[in-house]
Amino acid sequence: MSMLSQQVQTYLESSSWIRRMFEAGREMKAKYGEDQVYDFSLGNPDLPPPAAVTKGLQRLAEQAQSSYAFGYMPNAGYPDVRQALAQRLSREQQVALSEQELLLSCGAAGGLNVLFRAILEPGDEVVCPAPFFVEYTFYVQNHGGVLRTVPSREPDFALDIEGIEAALSEKTRIVLINSPNNPTGRVYSASELRQLAAVLDAASRKYGRPILLVSDEPYRFLTFDGTQVPPVLPAYQHSVVVSSFSKNLSLAGERVGYLALNPEMPGKEELMDGLVLTNRILGFVNAPALGQRLVGYCLEASVDLEVYEKRRAAMVEALDAGGYTYAVPQGAFYFFVQAPGGDDVAFVQTLQEERVLAVPGSGFGFPGYFRLSFCVPETVIRNGAASLARARQRWQ
C-alpha cells in the first residue's frame, strides 16, 4: 500500500510523461552524442555567475569565523540586505519601498508558496492567464486553493481582460501574472496593467474584500528591443511583486528571491506579519544566509545580456528558415511557437525524432503550441536549425 497521499500519487502519475520525455532525451544524447541533440527543453541558466559572485564568496569566506556568521536571523531576512534591495526595487517599481515591505524568500517559488499559505482558505481561487508556468498549479493546490486559468489572446498573448473579469468571483483571492512570461516571452504593457487594475478594483468593491494582484517577475532583467517591463506596484494598491535572482545572477540552485508588498497597500503590516510567519512554519525559516549575503553584494551585477540577444536572433533565423509561425518574445528566454498541424504533443514527438527537444504547450495549459528555450549556446541553435526545418516539412 502506498505511503503517499492520494493527491501526491496522482501528481506522480501525471508527471510520468514528462519524465519519459526527459528520459528519451537522455537516451538520445547517449546514443547520438550531446552535440547531436538539440535540447531546447530547459530553462536552466548556463551562463556563469557574474564576477561579483566570486568576490562575494571571497568576502563570505573572510567573515565565516565569527559568532552567528551564518546563523539564524529575522525570518524576513537580513535587514541590511532587505534595505539595499528596497532601494533597487524603489527605482524599478517607481514607489518608495522600505525593508518593511520586503521578505527574502527561498526563490520566487518559495515566495509564492509563503504567500498562498498565508492567504488561501480551502476552495479559494487564484486566477491566472494561460499559458502559465505549470508549477503554479501545485503551489496553489499545496494550500487548498484552486487555479483558474484564462486563455490569453492569440497571436501575441495579450491579457484577455474581459475573460479575466468573467473569471473573478467571491472566491477569487489572487490574480497571478508573470511578466516577462514563461513560456510566451510576453511583457504586459502599462495599458494592460491599468485595465486589469480597474477590473480588480471593481471586483474588490463588489465582493467586499481586496483581490491581490501578484506579479511574478524573475525575467524582468531580460527584455529585448528596448522593451520596458512596466511596474505593477504603482498600477494597483493591493499588489505584490515576487521575483528571484536565479536567472540574472545564474544562482538558481541557491534559492534566493523575494516578495515585495505595495507600500500603499492598506493592511500591509498584517499581511507581512503573516508572510513572516508562513515563511517560518513552512520550514523555509529564512532565505539561505549565504545566498542573501551574496545577493546583497551583487545587486548591480548581471550575467551578460548580449549573449541572450544573439541567441534570440539565432532562434528567429532558425524558425524563419523553417517556416514556423510565432510571436517574437519581448523578454525571457523562450519562444512559444505554433505547432504545425495543431497537435502540440504529436509535433513535439516529431521534433524528438529529428533530435530536437521541446515542451508541448499542453504542459503550460495552452495546447497547439510548443516551447523552445534559447537558454543554450548559440551553436546549439545554429546546428539545430536544419532539424527544426525537417520537422516542419514533415507536417506540411
- Of the pair 3, 225, the CB lying nearest a second copy is at 3
CA distances from 191 to 121, 159, 278 (A): 32, 11, 34
Q: How many CB atoms lie within 10 A of CB 201?
A: 16
CB closer to a second copy out of 111 and 183: 111
What is the C-alpha to C-alpha distance for residues 203 and 209, in angstroms, rounded to an integer?
A: 9
Minimum distance, C-beta of residue 337 to a second copy, in the bound complex (Å): 24
Q: Which of 165, 176, 122, 128 is nearest to 144 (CA)?
A: 122
- Whichever of 187 and 233 has its CB closer to a second copy, that residue is 233
Q: Does 51 bind a second copy (CB under 8 A)?
A: yes
Grid coordinates 567573515 are at which residue? 63
Of residues 127 through 186, those in contact with a second copy by CB under 8 A are: 135, 138-139, 142, 144, 173
Beta strands of 224-302 (E only): which ranges? 239-244, 257-261
Q: Count residues contacting a second copy (CB under 8 A)?
A: 86
Nearest to 68 by CA among 245, 351, 328, 286: 286
What phi-psi label fits residue 257: left (phi over 0), alpha (psi between -120 and 50 degrees) or beta? Answer: beta
203 binds a second copy (CB under 8 A): no
Among 40, 41, 97, 111, the residue binding a second copy under the rule CB under 8 A is: 111
Q: Three-state DSSP class for 129? A: strand
Pick 157 or 308: Cβ nearer a second copy? 308
Whether 90 and 331 have beta carbons less than 8 Å apart is answered as no
CA 171 to chain CA centroid, Å, is: 24
| Choices 20-28, 163-171, 286-294, 332-340; region in contact with a second copy by CB under 8 A | 286-294
**Do residues 242 and 111 lie in contact, with contact meaning Cβ atoms separated by under 8 Å?**
yes
Q: How far is the CB of 141 from a second copy (least distance, A)?
A: 8
Residues 288-307 that bind a second copy (CB under 8 A): 288-292, 294
Q: Which 238-267 positions form the footprint of a second copy (CB under 8 A)?
A: 238, 250-255, 267
**Does 2 participate in binding a second copy (rule CB under 8 A)?**
yes
CA 1 to chain centre: 36
Q: Which of residues 66-85 bind a second copy (CB under 8 A)?
A: 66-73
- Which of 33, 123, 208, 226 contacts a second copy by CB under 8 A? 208
> Shortest distance, CB of residue 310 to a second copy, whole angstroms?
16
Please choose, out of 2-10, 178-186, 187-195, 306-314, the segment that lies near a second copy by the rule CB under 8 A: 2-10
Residue 14 within binding range of a second copy, rule CB under 8 A: no
- Distance from C-alpha of 296 to C-alpha of 291, rounded to nearest angstrom: 8
CB 240 to a second copy: min, Å:
10
